Structure 1
Amino acid sequence: MFLLSLPFSLASAAELKFTNADESRAEFERSVKPFLTKHCVGCHGAKEPEGELDLTTLDPDMKSSTSGARWATLVEKLTKGEMPPEEKPRPDAAGLAATIDWAHAESKRANRNFTRRAAYENGNITPHSVLFDPKNIPPFDGESRVRRVSPEIYETFLKDAAKRPGTNQPFSPLGGTTFKDMGDPTIDEPVTATLFRNALIIVEGQTVHTVENGKIVKWNGARELQPLFDPQVAPTDAQLEAAITFQFKQILKRPPTDRELEKFVALLKRNMAEAGQVVGSRYALATVLMLTEAVFRMEVGSGQPDEKGRVRLAPREIAFAIGYALTDKGPDSQLLAAAATGGLGTDEGVTQQVRRLLDDAKTDKPRILRFFREYFGYDKASYVFKEANSGGGTIDFPGHDPGSLIADTDRLIEYILEQDRDVLRELLTTNKTFVAYRTAADWQKKLVEARKKFDAEKKANPEKYKNREFNPPVKMVCEAYGLSDFPEQQPVELPKDQRAGILTQPSWLVANSTTFDNHAIHRGKWIRERLLGNVVPDVPITVDAQLPNTPEKTLRERMAVTEQAYCWKCHQLMNDLAYPFEQFDHFGRYRAMDSVVDIEATAKLEGPRRNQTKRVMQDVPLNRSGLVAHVGDASLEGPVDGAVELMHKLAASERVEQVFVRHAFRYWLGRNESPGDAASLQAAHKAYQESGGSMKELLSALLTSESFLYRVPASPEPNAVPKAASKKANS
């Protein structure tokens, strides 16, 4: 829940509705355009617009344009009172209300509702120049927040805590976010029920015992909890307190406060009196697992605001934030000790702990590799179905093994991180690769089995096999990389004119493909958003996003339908960035020619061959030319020939480097960046540059930044929205 600090009620926002674009346009011309002209266009007009936002060109039709994300930003700034700036005259309440009411109503008509979750679901909303202009750094605006633990964190907790089978991980990632672990603060009734069922199973595992003749004859649980279950002797207050203290330390990694101890001892006594010793004790102990700290990450801050209006996170909050930033286990004993002894009270102390963890090879840090998996998205290759018989009655690529391709890219990223130099440039341009790195033994086993089978069949049918040669299965998996045999040493270098970085790895190419073809739209959208930092709107619900079913044409030819005026507003941001990757087929194999269906030859197939063969393919000239445009950075824009040239061009760009920093910020802080994060982002980028492209230094800068360590507490406004109105707005 949140409160919108406005000097008027938002009740009207829910009442204003548009049934068509004409109604919306009329209201825009009547009330919104005059307001923008009076209060906004002076700074955000056609001549040198601040923040790259020219309101005079912002289309009020959010359904058929790319303006939705910018309107969302404008509404957020007006709602929070951040715009117009403090030094400018304050807008009148009626005009401000009318503008925001119109924007919400139009967003609903366009099916792009503005909600608080937009802060997590839509990346790149804040203009790039606002975040990386060293001459204009907005004041810090990071809000206090509480967010639930990630599925991975809770799953790790279950593995460590549960002694019996039957527990379930109930959390799902927040849909539509750039990264999976981004700030969802909600827990519904089914999740709550699962959490409590898990809590009871965990407590049962802590208190396994056998009673015979009124005595405990076998105790397999925690020693500190045994007195609660002795049927012969009632536990003393000291034993009750010891049991509660043990449970708090086990689950929350801290002792209870005096008030908590008092409340839980009373709960234990009441439960045992009403439900019996065993059931009453277990339910009381399970309640500790349902406390806020057990399922939520607290990032609220403590103490009085400093001269900048910021409060620093409490030491325990910092310890958990650091622990969960790198691991799924939370803070280790050294982090907790530093929190308890004042070691996290200074930036230097925080830096020391962050560097300790980053340099500790024995500490498993799964969240680092997970960032690159989620950022590049190559792990989705395993979800792309490839039909076994897609042509000629033969298997297109018998060696296709998406799991192996994903593991190869994992290992390549780990290899680049081990060097920790020019990390992003290497990720985008390296021609090195690993081949079946973690599955090589399986492929060698298949090789031996296939060789035995081939020799046996050749011996049994010498005439049939006299002109056949053995085709080793290991060659099949190597074929994805253009190799004819398994490399003796890894990583192996591929031809520099064929491969350049993760986006030319078969795993990424397959992840952005379909059953039979490449997926240029996905590839172009990824580059536009993840490397160039722009916004590509969602597909309008009125658009049937299907390419023509004309397999005799190349993908580029079929994509011509997207160049119609209505589609081109969005597709001009994607198509030309994706076409260079046509030099690879949908299995990620390099190719010099494109391949399409030969309609005439397919139609001539007769008899058994017609049943065995679905399509006859033919080679056609390959067009891999592309274009970088609509970025706002002249050094980046221009034509490119092929994926390798494109990747080297992007890797040399400072903007691309900054966009990468933005995504790292988004992942490790669990939210989208806002204007007030400019100082943190610029410091992180500087640390990355000055260290020669070190990922460790980038992480260290992010995890010790103002945005990571501080919050601006919410303060009630004198004219805050009435509760009824805010409830209606939030619903």
Structure 2
Amino acid sequence: MTSCPAAELKFASFDESQAEFDRSVKPMLAKYCGQCHGADLAEKELNLQTLPPDMKGTTSAARWAVVLTQLSLGKMPPKDEPQPGGEAKAAAIEWIKAEMKRSGKHVAVREEYHNGNVVDHALLFGGKPTGSLETPTRVRRLSPEIYEAFTRDVGRGADVGQSFSPAGGATFKDMGAPKLDEPTTSQLIGNALLIVDRLTWHKMEGGVAKSERGAPNQLVRLYDEMDPASETDVETAIKYLFDYIIRRQPTDEELANFKALMNQNIKDAGRATGVRFTLAAVLLLPEAVLRSERGAGPPDDRGLVRLAPREIAFAVTYALTDRRPESWLLADADAGKLDSRDGVEAAVRKLLDDPKFEKPRILRFFREYFGYEQATEIFKNPDEPVEHYPRELVADTDRLIEGIVEQDKEVFRELLTTNKAFVNFRWDRNKQQGFKARNEAVHLAYGLPPDWKWTADQPIELPKNQRAGILTQPAWLVAVSKSDDNDVIHRGKWVRERLLGNVVPDIPITVDAQLPIAPEKTLRERMAVTQEQYCWQCHRLMNRVGYPLEMYDHFGRFRVTERVLDPEATAKNVDPKGKPLGPVVRKVPADISGGVEFVGDTRVDGDVSGAVELMHKLAASERVEQVFIRHAFRYWLGRNETPGDAASLQAAHRAYRDSGGSMKALIAALVTSESFLYRVKTAN
């Protein structure tokens, strides 16, 4: 059979698979991989010349899964070795997937780098998509915000504890698999019982339960001792609680199971305890504490299954807010209106355009993407003669982003280049004590003159040669700084990974990554140690894109000079008795020259004379915009992208560009994409 990477390969027999392997895969492996993985040298104990292509009934499938991962993520062959063409690599990837499917194997591509960017950018945006969707069905945990909103809604003031914590080590917090260990389960059970207690407030009068504080009679009736609830009463209560908690009616099987559980619990533990624990069980159902993305119905001819309508309703809602779906959206799901992409898009647009529908997850995306809220976590030396109020700086950046998103035109470019800013915007001089002191401290961070008067007419324009976008906002600059100095390395790492889409390897555990303590030297002079051969392979990716941000100090203030210790003047700074009077500093011009390289895009690569020029250069790059799309994909889909998501990513980028840079259009494209709505059906 002939190879056609643009179409999904299928093999009816091993003979067909062998023929395709011999034709398109074996020659590529011999030419580009045999030097390290051949008969003479089987690096990692992997000999691709002897690895059986038949994956059925052998152990070779696991080894081929490693090959699939390395090829898909662009990690092999190594970057400094000759590379196969895109078609040859795509043919090998498709053959491995097809042979796995023929053999009844399913091995997803392993994401070895948790922060993404491992998939070669060209595989996603370099041409017509050739891969197929790879994401298996899954169950996700609720985010802490969603769980808090859920328990607040249903618990009627119950003081429950947080069962879930944000995922660690990922770009975004809501990118974690369920973690239902013993402490989490114990917390969930305790919370469920507290909520049931609130839902069934009552007092007993002569063996009859009397509702209090608005507790629904359908539930309170179950506690009656004198006139025990009938089978109909029990059914009514279970149906009520299902509708209240799960937002649907129980199936016949669920109803029968809960009735049996109720009877058994009452028999074993008494009516009050039995009813309490049975009702709590509804709050422990997977639909109450997890997000299901398992799909419904048989898989299509590609092995893909579409999310069930109610799964879509919840997924779409949680893409924008922390609250459960609106009643009309669940009704649309039950009526079949979400069975098509157009139907889902109509629902998404309705939510996006509704000014009364709160959408906190949009601002949260930008907070997590830029990371500027970390400014509140950066300790600043109290000996510094600077009043510092990071919460005000974060609030200012929040409002700036909200304003740009509200305009919804060229959102990303504006976020990288605007010279506008909100300054101490959240403070009201008539209501807040200490306004004057805080206002003076905050506006100095923006470089405004000491006599600047606060105004509600905001945003204001800052000098265009001093500020350009979120990365020049004091909040971001503080967030990526140290207690007493700038942090060129991490600022450069942020630009490299979040804007340029490259991977900066983690620091080896054998390296003591500390700059020398030399207060008489500038930061750039102290960073000379990073140019040693062992360090430079990573620092060459970070230093030059971080240097331009030396335009600002670690409080986010614009500067043209850097302060360093003057040893000679310090030695002379003594009183008449020779007692040292303290260090003396001198000002030296801040070196803000830098540049971009190792991107492979002539429109981006090159020298820059400062942060403003750097930001405008990056904002004009299509690649940088596409990298932003990749990050939006990770946030709204809760996972890193794979080669099989190329079609969804390209469609999202087209939607963003065709709409003139609309964030609404981008979100709508992502949450109506095949990657969002479909999963690879896996065996239970």
Whether the TM-score (by the shorter chain) exceeds 0.5 is yes
The residue that corresponds to 1:567 in the other structure is 535
Q: Would you say the 8 A contact 2:150–2:324 is kept in 1? A: no
Using the alignment, how far apart are the partners of 1:162 and 1:148 within structure 2? 19
1:325 aligns with 319
Counterpart Cα distance in 2 of 1:609 and 1:662? 65
TM-score, normalization by structure 1: 0.79
Deviations 1:684-717 (A, max 9, x none): 000000100000000110011010111111259x
**1:139 Cα shift?**
1.8
Which structure's relative contact order is higher, taking Cα pairs within 8 Å and 6+ residues apart? 1
Local SS of the residue matching 1:639: strand
1:120 is displaced (CA, Å) by 7.8
2:62 maps to: none
Matched, 1:184 2:152: no
Alignment check: 8 A CA contact 2:142 2:290 kept: yes
Question: Cα deviation per residue 1:105-137 (whole Å; 9 max; x = unaligned)?
Answer: xxxxxxxxx998846823111110001123343
CA distance in 2, matches of 1:149, 1:127: 31
Q: Distance in 1 between matches of 2:310 and 2:579?
A: 68
User: What residue identity is the alignment partner of 2:497?
Assistant: E
Which residue number in structure 1 is paired with residue 20 of structure 2? Answer: none
Q: Does structure 1 residue 363 correspond to structure 2 residue 357?
A: yes
- Cα shift readout 1:125-167 (whole Å, capped 9, x = no counterpart): 1110001123343122222111111111101112112235431
Give the direction of change, closer, same or farther, for the CA distance of 1:87–1:571 in structure 2 (3 Å limit). closer
- Match for 2:446 among 481, 494, 497? 481
Tell me what 2:601 maps to: 633
- Determine helix, strand or coil for the equivalent of 1:171: coil
2:222 match: 228
C-alpha displacement at 1:440, in angstroms?
4.3
Question: Which residue, out of 376, 390, 412, partners 2:370?
Answer: 376
Instruction: Tell me the equivalent position of 1:532.
Output: 500
Aligned-pair identity in percent equals: 53
Please state how far the C-alpha of 1:31 moved relative to its aligned partner: 4.5
- Between the aligned partners of 2:79 and 2:597, the Cα distance in structure 1 is 19
CA distance, structure 1, for counterparts of residue 444 and residue 194 of structure 2: 49
| Aligned-partner Cα distance in 2 for 1:320–1:711 | 16
Conserved 8 A contact 2:133-2:644: yes
Q: 2:95 aligns with which of 79, 83, 86?
A: 86
Superposition misfits of 4+ residues, deviation over 6 angstroms: 24-28, 49-52, 87-91, 114-117, 607-613
Letter of the 1:373 partner, please give it.
Answer: R
- TM-score normalised to the size of structure 2? 0.85
Match of 1:168 in 2: 161
Q: Secondary structure at the match of 2:395?
A: helix
**Distance across 1 between alignment mates of 2:598 and 2:320:** 36
SS of 1:121's equivalent in the other structure is: coil
Residue 16 of structure 1 corresponds to: none
Equivalent AA in structure 2 for residue 415 of structure 1:
G
| Aligned residues of 2:167 and 2:175 also touching (Cα < 8 A) | yes
Pick closer, same or farther for the CA change 1:648–1:52 going to 2, 3 Å: farther
Cα distance between partner residues in 1 of 2:515 and 2:265: 64
Q: For residue 292 of structure 1, what is the aligned residue in structure 2?
A: 286
Are the structure 2 counterparts of residues 408 and 38 from structure 1 closer, same or farther at C-alpha, using a change threshold of 3 Å? farther
Alpha-carbon displacement from aligned partner over 1:6-52 (angstroms, at most 9, x marks no partner): x9xxxxxxxxxxxxxxxx9999933459846899xxxxxxxxx9989
Aligned-partner Cα distance in 2 for 1:619–1:542:
36
CA contact (8 A) 1:299 1:313 kept: yes
Structure 2 unaligned blocks of 5 or more: 1-13, 15-35, 52-69, 84-88, 101-106
Q: How far does the alpha carbon of each residue in 1:545-567 deviate from its partner, in whole angstroms, 9 at most, with x for none?
A: 11101111111111111110001
Q: Give, in angstroms, the shift of residue 209 of structure 1.
A: 1.1
Secondary structure, counterpart of 1:273 in structure 2 = helix
Q: 1:199 and 2:192 equivalent?
A: yes
* Residue type of the alignment partner of 1:144: T
Q: 2:662 aligns with which of 690, 694, 713?
A: 694
Distance 2:582 2:378 in 1: 21
1:86 counterpart SS class: helix
1:219 aligned onto 2:212: yes
Pick from 308, 311, 326: which aligns with 1:314?
Answer: 308
Do the aligned partners of residues 689 and 28 (structure 1) sit closer, same or farther apart at CA in structure 2, a change above 3 Å counting? farther
Given that 1:219 and 1:226 are in contact with CA atoms closer than 8 Å, whether structure 2 keeps it comes out as no
Could you tell me which runs of 5 or more consecutive residues in structure 1 were left unpaired when the two chains were aligned: 1-6, 8-23, 40-48, 61-69, 71-77, 92-113, 449-471, 717-731
CA RMSD of aligned residues (A): 3.1
Q: Give the match's secondary structure for 1:298.
A: strand
Give distance in 2, aligned partners of 1:336 and 1:409: 35
Report what 2:143 is aligned to. 150
Give the number of equivalent residue pairs: 617
**Shift in CA distance, 672/120, structure 1 to aligned 2, threshold 3 Å:** farther
SS at match of 1:262: helix
Q: What amino acid is the match of 1:595? A: R
Q: Confirm or deny: 8 A CA contact 1:120 1:672 kept in the other structure.
A: no
Name the CA shift for 1:436/1:367 in 2 (closer, same or farther; >3 Å): same
Secondary structure in structure 2 of the residue aligned to 1:146? strand
Q: Does the 8 Å contact 2:548/2:609 carry over to 1?
A: yes
Is 1:646 the counterpart of 2:611? The answer is no
Residue 331 of structure 1 deviates from its aligned partner by 1.2
Report how far residue 216 of structure 1 moved: 3.2
Give the distance between the partners of 2:555 and 2:650, measured in 1 at CA.
Answer: 39
